[in-house]
């Protein structure tokens, strides 16, 4: 025996269909993400450097390290809470040591490339909890450069 179709059963069916439709995951659909992208040796070394820095420095998360294709160097963002530029430079030197001990040998053994520490730019950001992180100092081409926007009380 067939049940009669009532307004109540139609409402229940509509409700069930709308719940099922809401449960279907949305698709991103951004076709630009499907564009070809050439993964370079610099990209590989940067990815490995981020992992090495995380392990060597005992960080919870990997720092941002990328290959700058225009400047043809690796760039690493180091975030810390150094009180002054001298302290920030000491922290950067620890990362320079990791570059020499781990990154340069990796590039040589894995890709046959002889890099130097000058091929890595290290940028130190202070994240002392007083607002947004700001750049304090960077080591670029083996030279330290104070950030142009560093607060006035952070002079050497």
Task: Report the pLDDT value the prediction gives residue 148, as an integer from 0 to 100.
Answer: 76
Is the model's pLDDT at 38 over the cut of 70?
A: yes
Check if the beta carbon of residue 103 is closer than 8 Å to that of residue 42. Answer: no
- Given pLDDT bands bounded at 50, 70 and 90, which one contains residue 156? very low
Tokens of 40: 């370079």
- Given pLDDT bands bounded at 50, 70 and 90, which one contains residue 11? low
Task: Report the pLDDT value the prediction gives residue 7, as an integer from 0 to 100.
Answer: 54
Q: Which residues of 70-102 are buried (b: 16+ CB within 10 A; e: fewer)?
A: eeebbbbbbebebeebebbbebbeebbebbeeb
25 versus 32: which is more confidently predicted?
32
Distance (Å, whole) CA 29 – CA 32 = 9
Q: What is the average pLDDT across 27-50?
A: 90
pTM (2 d.p.): 0.74
pLDDT tens-digit series, residues 104-154: 999 999 999 999 999 999 999 998 777 788 899 999 999 999 887 655 555
Is the model's pLDDT at 5 over the cut of 60?
A: no
pLDDT tens-digit series, residues 61-113: 889 999 999 999 999 999 998 989 999 999 999 999 999 999 999 999 999 99
Question: 111: part of which helix (H) or strand (E)?
Answer: helix 104-111
């Amino acid at each position: 025996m067939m049940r009669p179709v009532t307004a109540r059963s139609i409402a229940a069916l509509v409700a069930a269909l709308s719940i099922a439709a809401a449960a279907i995951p949305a698709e991103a659909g951004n076709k630009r993400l499907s564009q070809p992208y050439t993964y370079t040796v610099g990209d590989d070394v940067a990815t490995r450097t981020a992992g090495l820095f995380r392990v060597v420095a005992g960080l919870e998360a990997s720092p941002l390290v990328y290959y700058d294709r225009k400047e043809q160097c690796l760039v690493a963002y180091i975030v810390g809470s150094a009180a002054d530029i001298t302290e920030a430079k000491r922290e950067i030197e620890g990362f320079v040591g990791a570059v020499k001990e781990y990154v340069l040998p990796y590039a040589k053994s894995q890709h046959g490339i002889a890099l130097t520490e000058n091929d890595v730019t290290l940028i130190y950001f202070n994240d002392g909890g007083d607002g947004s992180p700001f750049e304090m100092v960077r080591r670029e081409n083996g030279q330290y450069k104070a950030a142009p926007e560093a607060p006035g009380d952070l002079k050497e």
